[in-house]
Amino acid sequence: MLDKTICIDSPPLPDVEKLNKIGKYEIISEIARGAMGVVLLGSDPYIKRKVALKIVNPARLVRFEKAGEYKARFFIEAQAAGNLHHPNIVTIYDANEIDNLCFIVMEYIQGKTLEEICTPDRLLPLEKVVQIGIKICHALDYAHQRQIIHRDIKPGNIMISDEGEVKITDFGIAYMPSVEEIREDDIVGTPYYLSPEQIKGIPTTAPSDLFSLGIVLYELITGTRPFKGGGIEHIFQGILAQEAPRISGFRADVPEGLQRVIDIALSKNVERRYQDGIAFARDLANSLTTTNSFDLEPSLRSKVDQLSSLLFFKEFSKGDIEAFLRIGGWMVFRENETIIHQDEKDTSFYIIVSGTVRVEKGETTLAVLHRGNCFGELAFLRKDKRIASVIAQQDCQLLKLSEVKIPLLPIEVQLRVYQSFAKILAEKLVEMDLRYLELF
């Protein structure tokens, strides 16, 4: 039971044995049952394709004090995943409530979950594990850039199709800041794969999902879980305080680079962990070689792919981003290296492609910025001295653009740059207002 999702006071599952149709969808068979509902194989008679239907019957929940929360959480999955369009995330087609049945219609994946290959006798080659990990990293980064945290990454929620495609499924307990949170104080997720933040009941962020992914990759590599025990308290104690046994102790072919990646992913300190999926994927991609990934200049295609997932470039075409890259500087900074010095005059601004930086004035840390954030825009617009220093908190990749080079861009791209600027400044003003109000 400890490999199942924890949802306090989980609802009874609907009785679907006698169902042969839900709305327009014809029911073929039952696929699986989980903590939040039943998944059925169905058919869309109009489009002529197989679909998966996830069902909960709220009428069965009336005796539970918080029955409405289950229904709300169910449709959070539809809202969360329905707005995500990524090749490594299961596609949501429809969501509705008919005859007291709440259901989500999603892409049907003919294949298996990672649970089936997380055993010592079915281990994959390390190259295959790394490929799977990179795809999951990119999918999670895509979701995180849209402020969606999955919160239940585990082998059972990751599928591999018969064609080898990797898909994340089940956003049923996903967290979106734009949605009123349900049960933030409860432990939500699957015990073996929880992050320290989830156990402590503090807000979850992108590194929480990446910690869970680190456990999944550990299990794929070794065939065993890093944190085990006789009960849930022992598991939680392991996650919070114990170091995971080295993966190289289970497999002789594990290189030190891959060991380092897993160690970073499973760091108890959230600030020492990977802050975004791109940094995680980059290190995974180079974990089986002896070359440090930061010594390699990414290809143009890789740069475009990394930038296109950032919200700053949401309205940019790939051609626009290529134009941006031609006049911008791709820069790499090591941990604790100073990027900007306070009081220096520099009219450039920076976009964080991967990693984390901190903004300091004197001895005071003003902010910590992550992938997709920008800094330096005030000096860029005011053409004045820097009012603070910026230091790499982790190894990071940045895109630098000088104010004098903006006119070199096509006029329509210049317009998009300043539109993105306006959005960034508006968001920062709102954030400052909220902080000000908190003082009173």
Q: What is the mean pLDDT of residues 67-77?
A: 69
pLDDT bracket for residue 439 (50, 70, 90): low
Beta strand residue intervals within 149-202, DSSP E: 158-161, 166-168
Please tell me which residue in 44, 141, 152, 209 is annotated as part of the active site. Answer: 152
* CATH topology assigned to domain 111-295: Transferase(Phosphotransferase); domain 1 (1.10.510)
Helices (H), 163-286: 196-200, 206-222, 232-241, 256-265, 277-285
DSSP state of 175: B
Q: Name residue 367's amino acid.
A: A
Given a cut of 80, whether residue 410 has pLDDT beyond it is: yes
Given a cut of 90, whether residue 262 has pLDDT beyond it is: yes
pLDDT bracket for residue 188 (50, 70, 90): low
> Structural domain boundaries of the chain?
21-107, 111-295, 300-438
In CATH, which superfamily holds the domain spanning 300-438? Jelly Rolls (2.60.120.10)
Q: In sequence order, what are the residues at sequence separation of 6 or more whose Cβ sits closer than 8 angstroms to the Cβ of residue 359? A: 365, 366, 367, 368, 369, 375, 388, 389, 390
In this structure, are strands 364-369 and 338-340 parallel, antiparallel, or unpaired? Answer: unpaired
* Chain mean pLDDT for the chain: 82
In this structure, are strands 49-56 and 338-340 parallel, antiparallel, or unpaired? Answer: unpaired
Could you confirm whether 346 is annotated as catalytic?
A: no
Q: Can you give the pLDDT at residue 211?
A: 97
* CATH topology assigned to domain 21-107: Phosphorylase Kinase; domain 1 (3.30.200)
pLDDT bracket for residue 184 (50, 70, 90): very low
CA distances from 32 to 88, 102, 157 (A): 21, 16, 12
Q: Can you give the pLDDT at residue 12?
A: 52
Closest CA to 287 of 194, 209, 216, 217: 217
Each residue's pLDDT tens digit, 76-134: 767 777 888 888 999 889 888 887 778 889 999 999 999 999 989 999 999 999 999 99
- Judging by beta carbons within 10 Å of its beta carbon (0-12, 13-18, 19+), is residue 102 exposed, middle or buried? buried
User: Whole-angstrom Cα distance, residue 377 to residue 245?
Assistant: 45
Each residue's pLDDT tens digit, 310-324: 888 888 988 888 888
Task: Write down the pTM of the prediction.
Answer: 0.70
What share of the chain in percent tops pLDDT 70?
83
Q: In sequence order, what are the residues at sequence separation of 6 or more whose Cβ sits closer than 8 angstroms to the Cβ of residue 234? A: 228
Least trusted range by pLDDT, from 15-24, 268-277, 316-325:
15-24
